[in-house]
Structure 1
């Protein structure tokens, strides 16, 4: 895979160089307007910066042949810079997925779409509703193309059949997403995530569910020593459930607490909610907790958050070893499609979704079918 950065006076010139050097299979990963300085910064000129990639690196011979015949236009100033590929295999996989999606998107933008004027209004209504969700634009386009092909066979396709076809395609897109139906199979259950997503309340719901509905002996460990209120809140839940609780300030405290509570069926671990967009805080957390131990780790994300923020948070926690997601505050938003997109993107399902503050009632065990049905309800509103 070859990734390069280009600077040119305009997009047309940049695209010309991309095609000449990387070929027709190249895709644009990013572009932005820039200013180039001349004469010690006294004069500046507007231009564009483009990052392009091709997943099969052409041979040097081909590149030389193409560039040998290249003649830049007059006053055309272009600079190129090779960007080293990511060393992390997970990052490479994500980048390759992005390239494939960009390819599909570019093909969709360049091809003429002559749709039959006899298409029913509900086709366009469904397309509009899907485009308003957080579902990847390429996937939405593919689903609508499939609906159009199916409708074109007989110039008819009922609205209900269209919905069933969309639901089927969404389920198919999640074939590789894992949904574990037994969240209590390991002794230690840890919740991680940013501040304000409701980790402590969610932990209490999980613990109450395990104790009251599953009949398990439980205990608590909290490493959230940054907020006194969080410790007191968890102590209150522990008192109600008649469960022991240990407060840990260091890795040594955490190790001692684990040994002390090892006789219990399940131990629930609360962590501090901090600005985990800062990688330093994630490293601090890893120093205290041994995530490779007999532990199931859930990343808690709020459905009121933007999809872009969810991605950043997930990327920061990825090396911790996330088993599944828990999505909170379903009752506080009208759009929940972000959980489908995040789950599909990272191939990790949702163990639970919360839709209220009641303990333990507002905790919904989630499955792949339930997630897709929830999204289908959203696009029909």
Structure 2
């Protein structure tokens, strides 16, 4: 593996130097604009610096003089000797490791490093900001490639125009994702999700909204019998809203509670927050609740969670029949791109986002446009 650095006045000259020494099989690893100085730094001019590599013997450079001056039969014999002399195992391993390492390095290089060195700084800045979000890296790369092609058309593309193009692409990527923030189409509304995401408070916000703003008759069912505090909290909300509440310890209790509250417009169901990374807890929940009934089920996820954990939780609940997501704790983080990635990946929108503890105020009916706006705000912070 041969790696060399070249400096030239422009990219065309640099490429000529690379081809001349390394041949047509050479690969450009990096290129950037530099300043070259003369006369002890008193004079300087712009140029380019290119790093290139080649895996094998250059295909175009001229043969070495020593070999060229040999008689034909001598060159043949010399070639036979080189072919018949096997490289040692250690040397082969070193060569293999070197090639593998170089391939890894080349694969990890961003597109930016292979692009025109005269790209504006704000292009690189935008790419860096996008790469720090939870948006799929392949999607980020594809977006930046399209922006680069757009910039190449006339070597100019204002930062504002770049942001507008990114915004349009993010919105288009949600084309197949449905956002419906009217959860009151079915009689039963159930919230599921891991512990600590704020399900009970969110349920109270939904119930207060239905009762106070929509004028619906409401009731509560809770299966969260693992925490006394959770039951008491929901009982407090039920008392404030003058709504009946039923506590269920088994599937029989749940069926009886449903029948008892069937005369109401909407019944809100609270569930226990468990470590749902363990599939057993999901199965236990399914034993108590019949998700095939007239029920809308929301998976509640906290935006303070890691994207990888959010995906694992979603995978565990997928067979339950998730209608949409509710994302909580937006006010506790500046990174909200995880909700975009979850919605885009699973083709399920966010019905609501919560951004505080106030009931029922801190409940935002969400749309594609609001999600895209949140992403753009994160990028521009």
| TM-score exceeds 0.5 | yes
Give distance in 2, aligned partners of 1:111 and 1:293. 50
**Change in 2 beyond 3 A, CA 1:110/1:162:** closer
**Change in 2 beyond 3 A, CA 1:118/1:12:** closer
Give distance in 2, aligned partners of 1:44 and 1:279. 66
How far is the alpha carbon of 1:59 from its aligned partner?
Answer: 35
Q: Is the 8 A contact 2:38 2:44 kept in 1?
A: yes
Describe the superposition over 1:65-111 as per-residue Cα deviations: whole angstroms up to 9, x where unpaired: 99999999999999999999999999999999999999999989698
How far is the alpha carbon of 1:256 from its aligned partner?
Answer: 0.7
Aligned residues: 381
Instruction: Report which stretch shifted further, 80-89 or 139-148.
Output: 80-89
How far is the alpha carbon of 1:121 from its aligned partner?
Answer: 1.2
How far is the alpha carbon of 1:370 from its aligned partner?
Answer: 0.6
3-state SS in 2 of match to 1:62: coil
**Change in 2 beyond 3 A, CA 1:309/1:69:** farther
How far is the alpha carbon of 1:117 from its aligned partner?
Answer: 2.2
Q: Is the 8 A contact 1:86 1:92 kept in 2?
A: no
What are the ranges of 5 or more consecutive residues in structure 2 without an aligned counterpart? Answer: none
Give distance in 2, aligned partners of 1:34 and 1:312. 46
**Change in 2 beyond 3 A, CA 1:28/1:124:** closer
Counterpart position of 2:135: 135
What are the ranges of 5 or more consecutive residues in structure 1 without an aligned counterpart? Answer: none
Describe the superposition over 1:123-178 as per-residue Cα deviations: whole angstroms up to 9, x where unpaired: 11111110110000000001111111111111111111100100111111111111
Give distance in 2, aligned partners of 1:270 and 1:347. 25
3-state SS in 2 of match to 1:60: coil
**Change in 2 beyond 3 A, CA 1:171/1:50:** same
Question: What is the TM-score when the length of structure 2 is the normalising length?
Answer: 0.72
Describe the superposition over 1:188-232 as per-residue Cα deviations: whole angstroms up to 9, x where unpaired: 000000000000000000000111111111100000011000000
Counterpart position of 1:232: 232
**Change in 2 beyond 3 A, CA 1:61/1:178:** farther
**Change in 2 beyond 3 A, CA 1:318/1:64:** farther
How far is the alpha carbon of 1:48 from its aligned partner?
Answer: 39
How far is the alpha carbon of 1:114 from its aligned partner?
Answer: 3.2
Question: What is the TM-score when the length of structure 1 is the normalising length?
Answer: 0.72
3-state SS in 2 of match to 1:184: helix
Q: Is the 8 A contact 2:31 2:113 kept in 1?
A: no
**Change in 2 beyond 3 A, CA 1:221/1:194:** same
Counterpart position of 1:368: 368
Give distance in 1, aligned partners of 2:50 and 2:71. 20
Aligned ranges 1:274-313 → 2 under 5 Å: 274-313=274-313
How far is the alpha carbon of 1:297 from its aligned partner?
Answer: 0.2
How far is the alpha carbon of 1:118 from its aligned partner?
Answer: 2.2
Describe the superposition over 1:267-323 as per-residue Cα deviations: whole angstroms up to 9, x where unpaired: 000000011111111000000000010000000000000001001100111100000
